Chain A
Amino acid sequence: MRFNDSVFGVILVAFAIAEIAYTSTFPRLHGQDFGPDLFPIIIGAGLMLFGGVLIAKGWAQRFTQPMLVLGDWAHDSANVVNVVILLGSVVFYIAFSTWLGFIPTALVIQSVLLIRLGSSPLASITIAAISTMLIHTLFAKVLLVPLPWGLLLPVAW
């Protein structure tokens, strides 16, 4: 997904203005006329400066560089679906892993991704099952990371 530089410039300047405005809510240091807002203001000023340069550059190149060029993935709807499934599976993990438990969530995510990326369903589920158990053993048993049991809590080992 390639944008013209001026698009980024506008985003950066807008972000910088909002950021600097927000720092006005920060308290001051006692007896000093600067405080925790100083460094963020410097960063914001820098972003405005470079954002401005990007706007000017992008505007000068507007005939040779369109405002938005979609990447490879947009020409191939299969790639769009891939990206959506990948991001969706991370969101799915964030939302449901505590309730479902690590093992079911990981099993579902890996099977879906493996099938989607071109492995056969049987192979996918087998690979997903083996790798889920390996990761679970490695992290939960060896490294003692409290991966959630979720629905499997009654049979936890």
Chain B
Amino acid sequence: METVLNALALITDPYTLGVMALAAMFGLFVGAIPGLTATMATALLIPFTFFMDPVPAIAAIVATVATAIFAGDIPGALLRIPGTPASAAYCDEAYAMTKKGLAERALGIALVTSVIGGLAGSVVLSVSAPALAEFAIRFSSYEYFWLACLGLSCAVIISTGSTIKGFVSLLIGLFIATIGIDGTAGHPRFTFGSIELMGGVSFIPAMIGMFAISEVLRYVASTRTVIVVPQQSVGSIFSGLGAVLSKYKFNIIRGSSIGAVVGILPGAGADIAAWICYAISKKRSKEPEKFGTGHPEGLVDAGAANNASLAGAWVPAIVFGIPGDSITAIVIGVLYMKGMNPGPMVFIQNPELIYAVFIAFFIANLALLPLGFAAIRLSRQILRIPRRVLMPLILMFCMVGAFAINNTVFGITVMLVLGILAYLMEENGFPVAPAILGIVLGGMVEDNFMASMIKADGSLLGFFSRPIAATLGVITILLWLTPILAASWRYLHRHKNRPARLKSDP
């Protein structure tokens, strides 16, 4: 109890609350601008968190992300352009409501379900994380190695697009993580004599490059359509909302819980949670034919799901140090930077910090209600800010942010190289998320792998010598074999069916 009170004191510090309020406004703004994502907002925020204490730093990220995911619904409903990928699943539905003259209803549903989903996710986080941490405290390097492998493999398999390209992306990330002084023998690897590279590829410039520079590149490299902001005025947001929400109260519960669970899975973030819940909503609906015509039901499910998944993603991040999505990948980097290495030990050494994170989630989601309301009111003004003015400004922030970490222009070079890499990867269907997780987890995977190898004296059987490690190992290997088995099954199936088809042909 004392811990909770300490945590409460940490989070209700006026400085922390002030930072959270500013971060929430920043999140609403970035989320509402199409083409600027919640992950980009987090990446732009890290240079600032660098100069803060751990609690305000983490609280700022929590507030930014919670509001940005909701704000992505605003251009989705008004312009049919999702503000963040998390709103893409139901953007057509929300826009169809706007065309029926129900813009305020769509935005009201999005806001209230986001708040409820976010609060539900916060409950899941604060209940499951401490319980899991007690279990994780018994883990040794073998378990951590397998757990990281499992997390990374999940991220590859869940990521959109080709699994092979996902694995390539992951290996690229792991390779980037090996650059610098090696942990076992102290030998500089792949530095080619560069003193700057000896410390490794700095994480923050890498994130800024992969999430922000790549977006700016994509903006200037594509032929743009000018955004036309509708003149339609947004009426009363909350009138008649209660009836809709009580009609679909079961959907809110379903969307929130599925969203939180999807968030916990490594590699699956808010966007995937929204897609899954929208699809389930349609499948289970009594009136699926209304979906796509401006029907609020799917909006309720998916609107709650994407915000619920945000908190869910923090469960593996703080308990095991394995990020649930790209945003928590950045968070893990920030935690390491603050000397708060994520893992079960944090729950024993700094429990008040962990509880402060939980409370930050509740505060951020409650604050979303008034702030989100204000953002809806101001939506037309926000959407009118031209992106051609914002992009040079973002570029400048990126460069100064990448510089500020070590006060050398080398950070900007890292940012540029990884930004171009991320842009080329995305253009060619290589998902970027596995590479990010590879960069973040590479050091931990290798350290645990090498420690296990040394303990077992080079014997691979050592990796299966403990019951939990063996279970995790078997699951991981099965997961690796799944694509191969699926491909060969498809191949066999095709060959078995071909003669049959030929026979039936006249």
Taking Cβ atoms with an 8 Å cutoff, the residues of A that contact B are 1-3, 8, 12, 19, 22-23, 26-29, 32-36, 38-40, 43, 46-47, 50-51, 53-54, 57, 71-73, 76, 79, 82-83, 85-87, 89-91, 93-94, 97-98, 102, 106, 109-110, 113-114, 117-119, 127-128, 131-132, 135, 139, 143-147
Contact = CB atoms under 8 A, between A and B. Distances in A.
B175 A43 contact: yes
Given A72-B223, A110-B396, A98 B409 contact: yes
Return the 7 tightest CB-CB contacts between A and B, nearest first: A113-B392, A117-B388, A36-B182, A82-B220, A73-B221, A145-B404, A39-B446
Contacts of B178: 39-40, 43
B406 to A, nearest CB: 11
Contact of B184 (A29, A72, A102, A113): A29
Contacts of B397: 135
Interface stretch (B17-25, B330-338, B448-456): B448-456
Which of A43, A89, A93 has most chain B Cβ within 10 Å? A43
18 contacts: A2-B427, A26-B187, A32-B458, A39-B449, A46-B167, A50-B167, A50-B171, A71-B222, A73-B221, A79-B220, A85-B220, A93-B409, A113-B391, A113-B395, A114-B392, A127-B389, A131-B393, A139-B404
Given A8-B428, A36-B185, A145-B403, A54 B175 contact: no
B189 A40 contact: yes
Given A29-B185, A83-B220, A83-B221, A139 B458 contact: no
B168 A135 contact: no
A32 B454 contact: yes
Interface residues of B, number: 54
Interface in B181-220: 182, 184-185, 187, 189-190, 213, 216-217, 220
B74 interface: no
Interface string B22-44: 00000000000000000000000
A131 B450 CA distance: 48
B185 A119 contact: no
A3 B428 CA distance: 7
Contacts of A29: 184-185, 454
B167 A147 contact: no
B171 A135 contact: no
Given A2-B427, A3-B428, A117 B400 contact: no
B392 A110 contact: yes
B446 A71 contact: no
A12 B220 CA distance: 28
A121 to B, nearest CB: 14
A27 B185 contact: yes
Which of B51, B171, B430 has the most chain A CB atoms closer than 10 A to its own CB? B171
B302 interface: no
Query: Which label, helix, strand, loop or mixed, suits the secondary structure of the A interface?
Result: helix
Contacts of A86: 216-217, 220, 395
Nearest to A96: B409
A129 to B, nearest CB: 12
A90 B174 contact: no
Nearest to B387: A117
A29 B403 CA distance: 36
A3 B429 CA distance: 10
Nearest to B420: A87
A93 B388 contact: no
B250 interface: no
A146 B408 CA distance: 10
Given A40-B178, A90-B399, A114-B388, A50 B222 contact: no
B184 A35 contact: yes
Contacts of B185: 26-29, 35-36
Nearest to B446: A39
B164 interface: yes
A114 B389 contact: yes
Interface in B106-156: none
B412 A90 contact: yes
Given A86-B216, A127-B389, A47 B171 contact: yes
A139 B401 CA distance: 9
B217 A83 contact: yes
Contacts of B388: 114, 117-119
Given A26-B189, A34-B453, A106 B175 contact: no
B236 interface: no
A66 B275 CA distance: 32
Interface string B414-451: 01100010001001101000000000000000100110
Contacts of A76: 223
B412 A94 contact: yes
